[in-house]
Amino acid sequence: MSFLQKIINWLFGRRAAPEPQKQKRKRAPKEHYGAHYYLGDLLDQLDAVFRDLPKFKKSDPEAYKLYSKIGASVRSSDGFICPDLEPHIAKSLPNFGCIYLGGDLEDQPDLAPLRFAYILKEKNPVNVQPTNETVYRCGLTFSLDHRIVATYFYVAIVNGVVRPLKVCRPTQYPIGSTKRQTFFYRMEWRWPSALQELANKLDRDIEEYAGDLFSIVANASYERERGVVVSVKKRGKRAVFSIDMLRAPYFFSDREKTVNENGRTKRIFHYVRGHTRNTADGDEKFIKGHWRGLRKFSWNGYDVRIGMPGLHDRSLSDFTFDPLDPTYEGDDVVSTAELAEKFDGVLT
């Protein structure tokens, strides 16, 4: 196992890959990179994300208000993520994204598994190293002693290159001898303590490590748009994932059936390839390829909406507007909760 793969396994709370066995299990084809292929794995992940969302609310309430409505991208447990920022994302960076990476480490209790990770564009954050480049907050939430603990750091994106930013924080210095020692504090530019500790634990260069973290979260956030986008809701909270276009009947075969006016079960959302059709007068007519089928239904206790990004809804990557300076005091602004509600109405 490569050093990079070990890092990614630790970051996502995975166990080490087992040694190859004689009996081979079915593997997902390479063309399904980023999209879910197996139903059992997906249901496990969905159960986990809705179980952990209330804990996310306690650890990072502002992020929770946004991502419980937009929906964290639920990843396939055996999927891979590129640790380098993908070119099309670097060229037009989105404003935000969130992923859920559930997983317990029963055999490695000293490691805290990563649950939620998100990126959020900000402008002139307080006590953060100033820069003229695009700034993002990268938030991480870890499971620790049945609680979810949040931390975050900031990065600047310079021509597609991720550069971590230092923060101004108090540093303690001792004065005097051991018997009469006292301390004073001075504000200094330093790396965020949580990021420094994580990099030290993995024996990584902190700038390289921060770049990998941001790139992994940014790339994985948009796995929701690598296929048919499926949005599931439960008690007003949302999670999102993508599936291969041809696998929709397999995933939703046990959905609650609805019928049309002829008493036939409505077909699930699917793509109809271009074809010719004989008309009533004997002529042939070419029918263009198009999408058909049921896009809203109930499935395994979830309210489901399904569609193609950019066609049936607004793609999350379309939202690239500039954030406001935190010192702005105008009346033409909305709160995080209000913004989340507006997004909830336009996303699949």
Q: What letter would DSSP give residue 264?
A: P
Confidence of residue 27 (pLDDT cuts 50, 70, 90): very low
pLDDT at 166 over 90: yes
Residue 313 vs residues 120, 199, 336: alpha-carbon distances, Å: 21, 39, 21
- CA 309 to CA 291: how far, in whole Å? 13
Write out the two tokens for 116.
Answer: 């939620």
Q: How far apart are CA 35 and CA 75, in angstroms?
A: 8
pLDDT digits (tens, 9 = 90+) for 114-142: 788 899 988 888 899 999 888 999 998 88
Torsion of CA 278, 283, 289, 294, to 10 degrees: -40
Q: Which two three-digit tokens encode residue 275?
A: 């074809």
**Residue 296 clears pLDDT 90, i.e. is over it:** no
* Residue 33 confidence class, pLDDT cut points 50, 70, 90: very low
Q: Is the Cβ–Cβ distance between 271 and 291 less than 8 Å?
A: yes
The DSSP string of 105-149 is -TT-TTS--EEEEEEEEESS-TTB---SSEEEEEEEEEEETTEEE
